[in-house]
Structure 1
Amino acid sequence: MKRTAIGSCLLLSLAACGSDNTNATTTTTAPTVTAPVTGAYDSALAFDKTKYTTINVTIDGVKTPVRWYKEVCYVGKPIAMAASQTSLTGAATTITNTACGYQSMNIFVPESVASNQDTAIYFAVNNGGWFASYIKASVTDGATFDSSASNVGAALKAGYVYIDVATRGRGLVAADGSYAGKAPAAIVDAKAAVRYLRLNDSAMPGNANHIVVNGTSGGGGLSSALGASGNSTDYLSYLKDIGAAGVTADGSSIIKDDVLAINAYCPITDLGNADLAYEWVYNILGTRQTVGSYPNPTGSAELMAKFVGYQAGLGLKNADGMALTATTMLVAIKAEVIRSAEIYLASGGTIPNLGENISYTAGGFGAPTTTRTYVNDWIAIDNATKKVTSLDMEKYLKFVATQATLKNTPAFDQTGLSITASSGESNMFGTDKQVYSNFTEYSWDHNDVAGDGIGYADTGYSWTQFSALSTSPQLKQVKLINPMAYIGTGATTAPYWYVRHGTRDRDTAFTVSINLSRALAADAKVQDLNYRLAWNQPHAGNYDVPEAMAWIAATLKAATAKGL
């Protein structure tokens, strides 16, 4: 009754409400009704829960019906693309969905959870090498899955909503001929997809507050950036441009884009400093020279020297409190390799003794797959105690560089330097009118390809001068795809992280994932960090499905208990 009286009083003038004069004339005013604030394109992004096709798959011998919501466009202003595109391998491909094929998602819902709005959402990004990821369907009618080996089958068996997310990325050409995949396009699209799920949470199966993001290589980098930068306003102008859910006409946000958990493999990330890290790792003990992969000794030395200051500037620490600098990094890598080996041994695995042969398979992600035999001359094991008794880091790094050829110098920002034979990630940067642009100081200042419009020779600007210009997008682009720029800041970092990097992965320096793990460990918002170098794994992902899925299940249980 008290609440009713107060509510009625608000409809009267103040004098009338406070007066005892029952004969006084009062004037009533209708309450002002404020329309709810919505995103500019929210009404066009409503999820149609009836628009699906039922397909049937077999998981561990059990037939499982699955609802397939096909190619759901998650933005209100998708960018039309050219029909002909180039893939990660360099092959030309023709796409059929030019309207929204790079900004849509395939949603797969096990029939058993079609009415369950509490189950998790397994959010798979597929952009290897940071290339654009055209819409794909990991679940097809009649497919058979082994849940012990397939993360797709395991996610469906667990009753999660499985989503294949397409995103723009490097190499992408729009219908108007512009390059529409420049950074930060991939992460902007991933955030838009998260926002779509949040907007439609009440209508869709699954819980949009329990999104687990999975990705490998460039997808691992995208997953890490997405997990680190939740709700940052840095991305709002880009989200507005593509009509993302929850972005109002004035460019503010009414929907969150943070996620619960990250399941990332061999993340290609921190690209602005990745060349420094790569040269330091493979020169600190003379690895490049030893294996005969030393195309640019002067450049290697220059980049390696700059790593020292970069690493010190991060201010990171190991678990024992020791500063993680260039002086202590080699010790940190060695400790992680030993930990990886001993975890593998404890699980029942075997490692050949010193002097024994072992075969390894390398390749993938566009490279041919080959199997070669090596002699173990770098790690000694006590099989009785399942402990590592010695590890020769010089020989270990030689092994890594032998079983997969090292990248050129520089490793990632290569285009425009005649000494290199490939392009790295340079075509992810610059304006949408440029095929590529150098995005680091070394490569910009050493660009020697005349007429590409990049570097000192063509622009008259050194990197220091150019990066200070308001028209230079590269520094901002580098930041927006770098999780290290957001961990420990005001962004909403994902509370749960599972990160793996293979012990024989030569595609990115071990320092990159180690730095990522140490930064996450220092962020108070991170509640669980499960980081490890994965024993005997190359540049690959989803090789540990039972372990990863058990971690996801435990994470979801912990999050639910904490009300997340």
Structure 2
Amino acid sequence: MTINKICITTLASAAIIGCATSVQAKNFDKLIFNPDIAKQASLTMPSGETVDYTAYEGIFYVTNVEDSVYQTLNIYVPETLRANNSTPIFLRTYIGGYMATTAKAPSASDATGRALKEGYVVCIPGSRGANSTITRDGKTVYTGTAPNGLLDLKAAIRYLRYNNDLIPGDAERIIIDGTSAGGAMSALVGSTGDRHEYDKYLKKMGAAPTSDKVFASVCYCPITDLNHADMEYEWLYGCTNTGVRHLNADQIIISNELAAECPDYINSLNLKDGNGNAITADNYKDYLKTFLIASAHKALEEGCEIPDTIGIIRYAEKPNFGGRPAAPGNSDGRGAPSFGPAGMQPRFNNNTDYVTGIDLDKYLSYVASVTPLKTPPAFDQYGVLIDTPTPETNVFGNPEGTPANFTDFSLRHRLHDNNATLSKEMVQRVFIMNPMNFISENASSVAPHWFIRHGAKDRDTSFLVPINLATKLKNSGYDVNFFLPWNRPHSGDYNLDDLFNWIDSVTK
């Protein structure tokens, strides 16, 4: 295809760098996009439709490449590109389990193929992770410890912005999409654009000297807020400990200790519902119920069968509360959340039951019966009751491959020292890996648009994690489209009609 953007010369690129020395400018010449690497390719969609595109692959996005296997990105430009200078760029990260991922090709079975079909430019970066290694001086070095995976995504975004006059698409309108740990990375990228906390790392990597902000963040089941995720998990699922979860006595002690720490954290967030009412530990579960009720009601409207045994309370006659959101303190939790996608509010008709409440303990037992729950601590278990590390303790480990605790709770239990605390270096790493630390009103670092999904039977993290993220963003004035899709397990890139209708709505 023909690139219609104005090509800039090496000399002009050096001028963009501003006050950088001539040596630095020459170094950043390595990051100038080369259109001559173009290759033609096509993708066959499930419908049988063929999408033709131009591929630019194997592009290094930093000048100081530590791991050449992962620190590259691929760019795909559809032949049907609608407008070179204004077409959004859909950036998909395939990070999962905080592991490394290579730069991949678009897939007809996920959002990358759909994005090409819709006419968007697609970028798929690789990034380092907990399992990425190189050999240095005869020794194995783990290259993907936190925050390196996040830094790689930021560097890839900077590459797109640095070459905005050369690469088709609009780098001012980057939409990042990720699932699970990738959803956490999407949340981090969306909340930390241009934050100074990352500058020293990015400079050392040789990332382009420009912005790493994004326009929108798509987060499927984000495994985030890691330093509070253990307590949130036990506070929510503790009701199942002696039932379907089958914890032993030692595990129950750990579960109870973690759960006891959660109320103070919930209260510290100062969250509010759509009516401005404070959300506290005392009424949080009623707030959670509103999201689950909305999910169940929408499922009934769409013809799903919901058994009577899982805690959903419904009437066969139209209730008289008119679909208005309930205050968090209402004991039956009826009503619907005050923000989310079109159709979230209950719509009553003659062909569906009316969901009016939920027995939360019974519903959580149902979720736990579908997929066994994680044992406590769910994320920072290393050395507490067992020595097996989790992906999260691996990613917070050291370059020698030794896992590390990232919460004071687990560190104290592993060392059997009630006075043990994390090092300052670890505290800082944990801080910059949590998007909740960067979301505030009018923060220029935060993306203006958010699409967040977490399945209504996804137990990979507590429901509190995505709900807190969505609520804090909404409270801070950002555009948030949030929902708990009914009967959906831990997964991403589903219901792509909804996703791309939303993308069209925020980009147009």
TM-score band, normalised by shorter chain = 0.7 to 0.9
SS at match of 2:242: helix
Aligned to 1:210, what secondary structure does the other structure show?
Answer: strand
Q: What corresponds to 2:291 in structure 1?
A: 336
> Residue 432 of structure 2 corresponds to which residue in structure 1?
480
Q: Does 1:503 align with 2:448?
A: no
1:278 paired to 2:233: yes
Residue 101 (str. 1) matches residue 53 (str. 2): no
Question: Within the alignment, does 1:118 sit opposite 2:118 as a pair?
Answer: no
Distance 1:399 1:50, change over 3 A: same
Amino acid at match of 1:110: P
Once the two structures are superposed, the pairs formed by residues 402-421 of structure 1 within 5 Å of their partners are 402-419=369-386
Q: Secondary structure at the match of 2:189?
A: helix
8 Å Cα contact 2:314/2:353 also seen in 1: no
Q: d(CA) in 2 for partners of 1:292 and 1:497?
A: 34
- What's the secondary structure of 2:87's corresponding residue? coil
Say whether residues 1:74 and 2:61 are aligned partners.
yes
Q: Aligned partners of 1:63 and 1:328: how far apart in 2?
A: 51
CA distance in 2, matches of 1:124, 1:152: 7
With over 3 angstroms needed to count, the CA separation of the structure-2 counterparts of 1:185 and 1:34, relative to structure 1, is closer
**Contact kept? 2:183, 2:219, Cα under 8 Å:** yes
- Helix, strand or coil for the counterpart of 2:253? helix
Preserved contact between residue 42 and residue 199 of structure 1 (Cα < 8 Å): no
**SS of 1:442 mapped into structure 2:** helix
Hey, what's the Cα distance between the residues in 2 that align with 1:289 and 1:440? 26
Q: CA deviation at 1:456?
A: 5.8
Aligned to 1:438: 405
SS at match of 2:451: strand
Please give the secondary structure, in 2, of the residue aligned with 1:389.
strand
Runs of 4+ in 1 over 6 A off after TM superposition: none
Matched, 1:64 2:61: no
1:108-257 counterparts in 2 under 5 A?
108-113=76-81, 116-139=84-107, 145=108, 150-176=110-136, 177-246=140-209, 255-257=210-212
CA change 1:443–1:196 in 2 (3 A) is same
8 Å Cα contact 1:106/1:165 also seen in 2: yes
Are the equivalent residues in 1 in contact too, given 2:300–2:306 (CA < 8 A)?
A: no
Q: What is the SS of the residue equivalent to 2:282?
A: helix
**Aligned residue number for residue 352 of structure 1:** 306
Q: Are the equivalent residues in 2 in contact too, given 1:488–1:523 (CA < 8 A)?
A: yes
Aligned residue identity for 1:300: S
Partner of 2:241: 288
Alignment RMSD (CA, Å): 2.2
- Output the TM-score relative to the length of structure 1: 0.76
Distance 1:433 1:421 in 2: 17
Cα distance 1:288–1:381, how it changes in 2: closer, same or farther (>3 A)?
farther
Distance (whole Å) between structure 2 residues aligned to residue 240 and residue 167 of structure 1: 17
Report if aligned partners of 1:353, 1:381 keep a CA contact under 8 Å in 2: no
Shift of 1:65: 1.8
Quote the offset at 1:316 in angstroms.
Answer: 1.3
CA distance in 2, matches of 1:158, 1:42: 33
Q: Corresponding residue for 2:37?
A: 51
Listed one character per residue, the Cα deviations across residues 40-89 of structure 1 (whole Å, up to 9, x for unaligned) are: 54211000112111112223333332111112111111113xxxxxxxxx
**Aligned partners of 2:311, 2:299: CA distance in 1, in Å?**
19
Letter in 1 for 2:112: V
Aligned amino acid, residue 463 of structure 1: A
What CA distance in whole angstroms lies between the structure 2 residues aligned with 1:281 and 1:119? 42
> CA offsets per residue over residues 361-388 of structure 1, 9 Å max, x none?
xxxxxxxxxxxxxx54544464735420
**Percent of pairs identical after alignment?**
36
- In the other structure, the counterpart of 2:325 is none
Consecutive unaligned residues of structure 1, counting only runs of 5 or more, are: 1-32, 81-99, 140-144, 247-254, 355-374, 448-454, 558-564
Larger Rg: 1
CA pair 66-35 structure 1, distance change in 2 beyond 3 A: closer
Matched, 1:463 2:420: yes
Give the letter aligned to residue 339 of structure 1.
Answer: A
CA distance in 1, matches of 2:312, 2:170: 47
Query: Which is further off, 290-299 or 306-315?
Result: 290-299
Instruction: Please name the residue that 1:536 is paired with.
Output: 487
What TM-score does the superposition give when structure 2 sets the normalisation length?
0.84
1:421 to 1:237, Cα distance in 2 relative to 1, 3 A: closer
Question: More displaced, 158-167 or 481-490?
Answer: 481-490
Q: Which residue identity lines up with residue 548 of structure 1 in the other structure? A: L
Q: Distance in 2 between matches of 1:112 and 1:76?
A: 32
For the residues of structure 1 that align with 2:221 and 2:204, how far apart are their CA atoms?
31
Question: Are 1:266 and 2:221 matched, yes or no?
Answer: yes
SS at match of 1:282: helix
Contact 1:170–1:182 (CA<8 Å) still a contact in 2?
A: yes
Q: Cα offset for 1:228?
A: 0.5
Shift of 1:178: 2.0
